[in-house]
């Protein structure tokens, strides 16, 4: 037992040291993270893009990213306070659509009403102009709440998922 103990003990000590070296940074990071308060200065902004035909039209509110000139692009977004997990209806959201080298700023409006309280999001509509060239249209959405917190939404940088003007 003396020989096995002589061989295993250094291995055990090395193993214990390796575990300590591997776990110490994780423990320190967790400790520091626990000491840092959650950042509540950035709004969480997200949403989608749909057809915005009038109510009753079978194409209304269908998710889409390919539009023809004259078609209604609907932006549905929300901005969440990361501290409370709720949205503030007084938050101001603006869609910035860039096409043909110019940017159109579209203020969004709160979609929630007394008759439709479940619609906890903001909306804006952009009719694709007749002078819009075919191809990808870039957009972002910025938000600012009454307390001065801001946030921004940018779609994924994947060409197939961008708003695209087609013939």
Distance between CA atoms of residues 67 and 101, nearest Å: 18
- For 3, the enclosing helix (H) or strand (E) is helix 2-35
pLDDT given for residue 128 in this prediction: 98
pLDDT given for residue 27 in this prediction: 40
Distance between CA atoms of residues 109 and 143, nearest Å: 12
pTM, two decimals, is: 0.76
Residue found by looking up tokens 């061989």 in the block: 7
Q: What is the mean pLDDT of each run of 10 residues along the chain (167 residues)?
A: 54 43 40 44 96 96 97 98 95 97 97 97 98 97 96 95 96
pLDDT given for residue 24 in this prediction: 42
Burial classification of residue 47, based on how many CB atoms lie within 10 Å of its CB (0-12 exposed, 13-18 middle, 19 or more buried): buried
Nearest to 107 by CA among 60, 143, 59: 143
């Amino acid at each position: 037992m003396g020989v096995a103990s002589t061989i295993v003990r250094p291995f055990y000590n090395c193993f214990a040291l390796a575990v300590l070296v591997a776990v110490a940074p994780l423990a320190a990071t967790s400790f520091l993270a626990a000491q840092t308060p959650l950042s509540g200065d950035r709004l969480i902004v997200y949403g989608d893009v749909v057809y915005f035909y009038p109510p009753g039209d079978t194409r209304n509110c269908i998710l889409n990213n390919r539009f023809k000139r004259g078609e209604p692009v609907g932006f549905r977004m929300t901005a969440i306070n990361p501290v409370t997990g709720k949205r503030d209806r007084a938050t101001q959201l603006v869609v910035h659509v860039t096409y043909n080298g110019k940017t159109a700023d579209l203020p969004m409006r709160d979609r929630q009403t007394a008759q439709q309280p479940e619609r906890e999001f903001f909306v804006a509509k952009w009719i694709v102009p007749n002078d819009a060239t075919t191809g990808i249209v870039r957009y972002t959405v910025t938000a600012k709440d009454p307390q001065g917190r801001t946030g921004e939404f940018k779609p994924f940088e994947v060409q197939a998922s961008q708003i695209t003007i087609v013939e």
